[in-house]
């Protein structure tokens, strides 16, 4: 077990994190993630990346750089995966637990809020990160050296932000149907703004300030051999969004717990 600080009831208190409880929750969450409603999301991201690669292969014969187009396929796949797997799956699983009344049972048992949070986020975070790496060979664009280190750090931070936002939205979702209603506007913002920023000038101005846009810009800068691959604006955007998402989650959790009536 490990003692950690956790914010609750308007003050900082000491919570005990029991690893065996976290792993038990993570195991349950992983099985839920493998269910038909969730597993389709990473599969869709992989299929989407593969489709974009084959589509762009035809374009490369018309004078486009194959490496650049493969990098674009990777960037779009990352945005899709981080949004749909990281955000949507977590909020959907939390809503499903509310429907089945298992959430109240967990929160009134010996499992504390921090253990539930870590156990819920861990499997989705790991699956999303693994798929992020799988998208490289699938897209045909490989990142190596120092760029791979930057890629790892930035995509992991982006995945964590997405997971926290998913938990936050899950608090407000009363059932699985309402999850789609709540998450759709956020997903559209996270995915469509970076994807269409190359074609619409207004979106190009907004995209760098969204963490998915910063990730997409980073990959494209690597393909163009632009240094630094991630500029100060992108770094600040990700830091601010990470802090804001954590602060909002803590605030909403303090008021409502994991369920908002």
Q: Give Cβ neighbours of residue 117 (< 8 Å, ≥ 6 apart).
A: 167
Residues 38-97 pLDDT 10s: 999 999 999 999 999 988 877 655 555 888 889 999 999 999 999 999 999 999 998 888
Residues of the chain predicted below pLDDT 70:
1-15, 59-64, 104, 107-108, 259-261
User: What's the CA gap between 136 and 186, in Å, rounded?
Assistant: 25
Residues 11-27 pLDDT 10s: 444 467 788 888 988 99
Strand partners of residue 6 = 13
- Please tell me the pTM assigned to this model: 0.86
Q: Give Cβ neighbours of residue 168 (< 8 Å, ≥ 6 apart).
A: 245, 248, 249, 252
């Amino acid at each position: 077990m490990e003692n950690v600080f956790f914010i609750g009831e308007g003050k900082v208190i000491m919570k005990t994190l029991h690893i065996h409880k976290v792993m038990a929750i993570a195991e349950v969450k992983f099985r839920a993630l493998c269910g038909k409603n969730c597993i389709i999301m990473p599969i869709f991201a992989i299929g989407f990346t593969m489709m974009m690669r084959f589509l762009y292969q035809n374009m490369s014969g018309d004078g486009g750089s194959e490496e650049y187009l493969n990098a674009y396929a990777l960037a779009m796949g990352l945005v899709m995966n981080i949004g749909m797997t990281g955000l949507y799956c977590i909020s959907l699983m939390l809503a499903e637990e509310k429907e089945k009344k298992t959430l109240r049972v967990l929160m009134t048992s010996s499992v504390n809020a921090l253990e539930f949070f870590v156990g819920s986020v861990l499997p989705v975070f790991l699956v999303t990160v693994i798929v992020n790496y799988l998208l490289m060979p699938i897209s045909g664009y490989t990142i190596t050296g120092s760029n791979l280190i930057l890629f790892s750090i930035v995509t992991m931070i982006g995945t964590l932000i997405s997971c926290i936002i998913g938990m936050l939205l899950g608090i407000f979702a009363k059932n699985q149907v309402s999850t789609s209603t709540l998450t759709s506007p956020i997903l559209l913002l996270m995915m469509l703004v970076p994807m269409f920023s190359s074609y619409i000038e207004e979106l190009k101005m907004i995209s760098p300030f969204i963490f998915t846009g910063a990730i997409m810009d980073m990959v494209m800068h690597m393909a163009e051999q632009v240094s630094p691959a991630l500029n100060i604006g992108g770094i600040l955007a990700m830091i601010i969004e990470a802090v804001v998402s954590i602060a909002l989650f803590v605030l909403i959790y303090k008021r409502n717990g994991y369920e908002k009536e």
